[in-house]
Amino acid sequence: MGSEARQLHLFFFPLMAQGHTIPMIDIARLFAARGNKSTIITTPLNALHISENIDEDKKSGLEIHLETIPFPAVEAGLPEGCESVSSITSQEMVFKFFKATDMLQQTFDMLLDEQRPDCVVADMFLPWTTDVAKKYGIPRLVFHGTSYFSLCVIASIFRYAPHEKVMSDSEIFVVPGLPDKIEMKKLQLPNHGESNEKNGFTEKRAKIQETEVSSFGVLVNSFYELEPAYAECYTKDLGRRAWSIGPVSLCNRNFIHKAQRGMKASIDEHYCLSWLDSKEPRSVLYVSFGSLSRFGTAQLHEIAMGLEASNIPFIWVVKMPLNKEKDQDQILPDGFEQRMQGKGLVIRDWAPQVLILDHPAVGGFMTHCGWNSTLEGISAGLPLITWPVFAEQFNNEKLVTQVLKIGIRVGNEVWNSWIEPENVSVTKDRIEEVVTELMGKGEEAKNRRKRVSEFGEMAKKAVEKGGSSYNNLSALIEELRAHSPQSTHMQV
Ligand code: UDP
C-alpha cells in the first residue's frame, strides 16, 4: 500500500474442526499479509497443529499469534482430550461438543476485555461471540465456510420452511426466492430423520441466522465471478452484508504451506509428487471425502472395485475406521493395493490435498462437496464427481452440477452422519460409470473441463491485486479501520 495505515488487531476464532480451522488460518494470513495483526484463538491440542502451520508465516515476518484457551471437554461430559470434531465417535458426543464450545463464552469475554481487538472473525457455530463482542463495541464477522449459493439455500429454507409443506422425506420441494429453480428433498437436509427440537439444533440454527444479520457482516470463502447471482441474492434479497475474499486456499503459495495445510500428511509429499510426475497430464482422479466423512467397509469395497474397473489412475484418501479394533487390513478388498501398484495410490488418513490438486497430472476430483474441497478443486480447474454426505454438502452439489455445470452426481440422495454409516449408498458399477464419464473424451466431458478451467482462471485473478476478492478485502480493512480508531499508527 505504501501509505500510512492503521494496523488492525483481529481475533480469529474457528470451530475446532479441520474444515473450519484451515480456511480461518488462511484468512488470518490474508489479513496479516496486509500489515495487520492476527490472533487465532484455539485450544491446547489444536494449537499444536496450528502452530506448525503458522511457523513459516512468523519466520517471514507476518504478525500471526496463537492464544490458547482450555477446552471444557470433561465438564461437558466428553472424554479428556476430545478437543476436535474429528475425535467425535457418536451422535451424543456431537451435542456435548457443542455444549463445550458454548461454555467457552466466559473465557472469550475475558480475552476481549484484556486485549480489545479491532474485530472478531468467529465461526458460525459460535453465535454468542456477536453479543460478547458488542459488549466491548467490537465488530464481529461471521465465518460459515460455505458458498453464497448454500448460504442462500439455508436462509431461504429457514425463512419459508418449504420442507414442512411436503408429505414425505422423498417428495421434491422448490427452494423459494433463488435465481434458479433449485429442488431439494427433506432427505438431503441435515438431521432430517431426527427431532431437531430434541437435539437442540433448531435453537442453534435460529441463533446462527439471527447473528448473520446482527453481526457486522459475513465473510465468504468464494469469489464473485463464480456465483454472482447468489452473491447478489444473499446481499440484496436476503439483506446480509457480506465480503467474498476467496478462494482463500490460494494464499498457500509455497511448498511447505501446501504440503502441511491442516496437518502433517500421512505420506511423504515428495513421494506423492514423484508418483504424480510419472503420470500423463490430466490423467489421475483424486478421490477424497474431506476431514471427517468415513465409510463402512462394504462401501469402501465398492469404491475400490469401481476404481479398479474404471482403469483410471487414482489417488484415494481412505479414512481409517474409528473402531481401532477392526482389522485395518480388511477395509480394502484382498490384494487391492498390490494389484493397483503403479496405477493407484492409497493414502491412509491425511493427504497433502492442495499440493495434489495443483499437480498437472490430476484431471478430476471425486469429492464429498465440503465447500473447501469443492472450491480447491474449482481453483485447480478440475471437474468434479459429487458425492455429498452431510452438513450443507447437498447444497454445494447443486451449485456444482446444476448451476455451474462442472460436475457429475454419483447419485447419493440421503443426508447421513459422517460417523461411519454402515450402509452402501453407491455401487461399484455406478462408480465405474461416473469415473469413466468424467475422465473420458466425450463432448460433455470436454465442455465440463473447459468450463471449470475458466472458473479456475477467474479464481486466480480474483485473489490477485485488483481482483474482486482482493478488492473486497481492501474495502473491508478500510471499513474496519474507519470503525475502530483505537489502534496505533504504523507504516504498511
Ligand atoms: N484436507 C486435506 N487432506 C485430507 C483431507 C482434507 O488437506 O486428507 C483439507 C482439504 O484440503 C480442505 C479441508 O481439509 O481444506 C476439508 O474441508 P472440507 O470443507 O472440504 O470438508 P470437511 O472436512 O469440513 O467435511
Which atom of ligand 1 is the closest one to the Cα of 354?
11
| Residue 262 Cα to ligand 1 middle (Å) | 8
Which atom of ligand 1 is the closest one to the Cα of 349?
8
Does 396 contact ligand 1 (Cβ within 6 A)?
A: no
**DSSP tag of 76:** G
Does 261 contact ligand 1 (Cβ within 6 A)?
A: yes
Identify which has the larger pLDDT, 247 or 193.
247
Does 350 contact ligand 1 (Cβ within 6 A)?
A: yes
Does 356 contact ligand 1 (Cβ within 6 A)?
A: no
Q: Is the pLDDT of residue 35 over 60?
A: yes
| Residue 13 Cα to ligand 1 middle (Å) | 18
Identify the H or E element spanning 172. strand 172-174
Q: Is the pLDDT of residue 487 over 70?
A: no
Does 387 contact ligand 1 (Cβ within 6 A)?
A: no
Q: How confident is the model at residue 422 (pLDDT cuts 50, 70, 90)?
A: confident
CA dihedral of residues 473, 475, 479, 482 (deg, nearest 10): 110
**DSSP tag of 155:** H
**In this predicted structure, what is the pLDDT of residue 423?**
83
**What is the dihedral sign for C-alpha 223, 468, 213, 35?**
positive
Does 371 contact ligand 1 (Cβ within 6 A)?
A: yes
Which atom of ligand 1 is the closest one to the Cα of 20?
24
Mean pLDDT of the chain: 92
**In this predicted structure, what is the pLDDT of residue 491?**
35
Q: Where are the domains of the chain?
A: 3-160+199-250+459-485, 264-458
CB neighbours of residue 484 within 10 Å = 18
Does 353 contact ligand 1 (Cβ within 6 A)?
A: yes
Q: Is the pLDDT of residue 1 over 60?
A: no
| Residue 134 Cα to ligand 1 middle (Å) | 32
**In this predicted structure, what is the pLDDT of residue 387?**
97
Q: Is the pLDDT of residue 3 over 50?
A: no
- The answer to whether 459 and 249 are in contact (CB under 8 A) is no
Residue of 9, 20, 49, 368 marked active site: 20
Condensed to tens digits (0 to 9), the pLDDT of residues 127-165 reads: 999 999 999 999 999 999 999 999 999 999 999 999 999
- Omega of the bond prior to 247 within 30 degrees of 0, cis? yes
- The answer to whether 57 and 32 are in contact (CB under 8 A) is yes
- 123 flagged as catalytic: yes
What are 326's three cell numbers? 477392526
- Residue 240, Ramachandran bin (φ over 0: left; ψ between -120 and 50: alpha; else beta): beta
Task: Report the candidate in 177, 171, 245 with the shortest Cα–Cα distance to residue 463.
Answer: 245
**In this predicted structure, what is the pLDDT of residue 322?**
73
Q: Which of 144, 353, 358, 369 is the pocket-test mutation for ligand 1 (most atoms within 8 Å of CB)?
A: 353
**In this predicted structure, what is the pLDDT of residue 260?**
85
Q: Which CATH superfamily is domain 3-160+199-250+459-485 in?
A: Glycogen Phosphorylase B; (3.40.50.2000)
**DSSP tag of 89:** -
Longest dimension (CA), the chain: 65
**In this predicted structure, what is the pLDDT of residue 192?**
65
Q: Name which residue sits closest to atom 10 of ligand 1, judged by CA.
A: 373
| Residue 479 Cα to ligand 1 middle (Å) | 31
**DSSP tag of 319:** P
What are 472's three cell numbers? 473486497
**In this predicted structure, what is the pLDDT of residue 193?**
57
- 368 flagged as catalytic: no
Mean pLDDT of the region 430-449? 97
| Residue 112 Cα to ligand 1 middle (Å) | 30
Give the span between the Cα atoms of 136 and 134, in whole angstroms. 5
Give the span between the Cα atoms of 447 and 451, in whole angstroms. 6
Burial (CB count within 10 angstroms: exposed 0-12, middle 13-18, buried 19+), residue 58: middle
Q: Which of 368, 373, 378, 384 is the pocket-test mutation for ligand 1 (most atoms within 8 Å of CB)?
A: 373
Checking ipTM against 0.90, whether it exceeds it is yes
Burial (CB count within 10 angstroms: exposed 0-12, middle 13-18, buried 19+), residue 442: exposed
Give the span between the Cα atoms of 401 and 409, in whole angstroms. 7
Among 180-194, 238-252, 394-408, 449-463, which is the least confidently predicted range? Answer: 180-194
Give the span between the Cα atoms of 38 and 9, in whole angstroms. 6
**In this predicted structure, what is the pLDDT of residue 330?**
80
**In this predicted structure, what is the pLDDT of residue 324?**
58
Q: Is the pLDDT of residue 437 over 90?
A: yes
Condensed to tens digits (0 to 9), the pLDDT of residues 343-354 reads: 999 999 999 999
**Do 3-160+199-250+459-485 and 264-458 come out as alike in CATH topology?**
yes
Q: Is the pLDDT of residue 294 over 80?
A: yes
Q: Which CATH superfamily is domain 264-458 in?
A: Glycogen Phosphorylase B; (3.40.50.2000)
**In this predicted structure, what is the pLDDT of residue 323?**
66
CB-side neighbour CA atoms (13 Å) of 417: 16
Residue of 26, 57, 118, 123 marked active site: 123
| Residue 49 Cα to ligand 1 middle (Å) | 14
Condensed to tens digits (0 to 9), the pLDDT of residues 102-126 reads: 999 999 999 999 999 999 999 999 9
| 3-state SS, residue 257 | helix
Condensed to tens digits (0 to 9), the pLDDT of residues 302-339 reads: 999 999 999 999 999 999 877 655 666 788 999 999 99
